[in-house]
Structure 1
Amino acid sequence: MITAWIAVDAAPGRARVDLSTGAGTTLVPRLLGRTASSARVALVAGGAMLLGGDAIGLDIRVGTGCTLDLTEVGGTVAYDADGEASHWSTHVIVGPGATLIWRGLETVVADGANLHRRTEIALADDARVLVRDVCVLGRSGERGGRLCVETTVTVDDVPLLVESIDVHGDRPMSGVLGPNRVIESIVLAGIRPGEPDAHTMETAGRGALARYLGHSVHESPLAHTWDTWRRLMEADL
């Protein structure tokens, strides 16, 4: 497995930011800016991804009282691999009083791809997380391959969100995605949202899940949700 890592800790003057580097790295974090307790980091593809047999790991740690604003330069494509699986595993730890904001871009699962993604996010009791994730079955004119997504969010070791989605573009399932090819999710953890709307489900703990199922990313109504929740996060910092 090829692993990239991002670690942010407070330090006098400017936050200490540790990033994985190296020629040939498939996923390369780039520092965009920082203050004494915050950092802005971009995820940049270091090569073609995802191909059959690829195994990518991403480790993120946000230290006590710090803020990490994570962006992506471009979307990701899981390419036709004749069904050979590719794996992407993300492990996130957000420390006491820390904040993670991650606006993910589209992951497109082409015909013949077989993508398995697992995301684990562990928050301290007073930490906060806002994460956007978008998956698209198929490129233009395609129905898409297999997509298996597992997501776990815990707050102080107590599960807040545990979800598993396993779909295949050639075999749509009623009650899951149905005829839709786009699934967009925004997860808010560690803080209560404002007034919920038709696309939002509040969790039993402090948090919420907003979701859109549709045919096109540009038709999603969740841009307003993202902006509202981001302002809520920033006002609470």
Structure 2
Amino acid sequence: MSDIPTTIEVDAAANRASVRLRTAQLAPRLISRSSHVVSVALVAAGALLLPGDEVSIRIRVGAGCLLRLEDIGGTVAYGGRAERSRWVADIELEDGAALVWAAKPLIVADGAEVVRTTRARIADRSALLLRETTVLGRNGERGGTIRSRTLVDQGRHPLLAEGLHASGAAPQPGVLGGHRVLDSVTLAGIRPQLRTVDMMMLEGPAAVARHLGSHTHDSPLDILARTWADEAATAWNTRQENTYDPAHR
């Protein structure tokens, strides 16, 4: 257990973006970078998540930058001791920045108790694509307990604030019911062009699509997640062109 967060910070530069990475429970690895576009992979630095583990990741994308973040593998939260494990992601997008993060599934095994919090603060001209998938139990298991919160603010205005409390050992109608997979894709900062019956438009420039099922491979959100990621990147690129167009100086 460590109080030091895994850190990813990106800032634009003339030739190659400035990228600062710090390893804790997760190890960020630089894949590629240009002056404004950076790709980073996240890998586990050790066994995760064990009871009592506290994983924290801080992501800051500087003005005008696009960060593509990739998970190399999913995460299994293990049971065995009566201790909660915690996963906290803190995201900050500065003016004209974008983050595309289609995270791999979090599997909550029998006996595990997980608290997961995702907080994002985005500037007015930034865009965020976030995919989070929760699976109750490994194959043949009912699954442990998950308490999750997702908070997205744009400037001083909240775009999304929601919570989930579900247990594979005690399924509740109106929560996940008999389903063990919750797949969720959030697009914030822009309104999506591709819309489906599984999504809801939020009051601000944001939308959330969800799917409940029994297996991750049954989710119909793969295409939507890729399309929304492209839309976020396109919006970022358009804003860059408008920012640096001589007509806008």
TM-score w.r.t. length of structure 1: 0.96
- Name the residue aligned to 2:20: 18
Check if 1:167 corresponds to 2:166.
Answer: yes
- Name the residue aligned to 2:127: 128
Give, as a single letter, the amino acid of the residue that structure 1 aligns with 2:10: V
How far apart, in 1, do the equivalents of 2:185 and 2:50 lie? 26
Describe how 1:1-237 pairs up with structure 2 within 5 A. Answer: 1-21=3-23, 25-236=24-235, 237=237
Q: Is the 8 A contact 1:130 1:189 kept in 2?
A: yes
**Number of residue equivalences:** 234
Structure 1 runs, 4 residues or longer, greater than 6 Å off = none
| Higher normalized strand content (fraction of residues) | 1
How far apart, in 1, do the equivalents of 2:82 and 2:109 lie? 11
Higher alpha-carbon deviation: 158-167 or 191-200: 191-200
Q: Is the 8 A contact 2:77 2:106 kept in 1?
A: yes
**What is the RMSD computed on CA atoms of the aligned residues?**
0.9
Give, as a single letter, the amino acid of the residue that structure 2 aligns with 1:198: V
For residue 235 of structure 1, report the CA deviation from its aligned partner.
2.2
Question: SS where residue 148 of structure 2 aligns?
Answer: strand
Give, as a single letter, the amino acid of the residue that structure 2 aligns with 1:220: S
Give, as a single letter, the amino acid of the residue that structure 1 aligns with 2:163: S
How far apart, in 1, do the equivalents of 2:16 and 2:194 lie? 36
Question: SS where residue 103 of structure 2 aligns?
Answer: strand
Give, as a single letter, the amino acid of the residue that structure 2 aligns with 1:6: I
TM-score w.r.t. length of structure 2: 0.92
Question: SS where residue 120 of structure 2 aligns?
Answer: strand
Unaligned runs of 5+ in 1: none
Q: Is the 8 A contact 1:15 1:37 kept in 2?
A: yes
How far apart, in 2, do the equivalents of 1:195 and 1:28 lie? 34
Using a 3 Å threshold, how does the CA distance of structure 1 residues 106 and 195 change in structure 2: closer, same or farther? closer
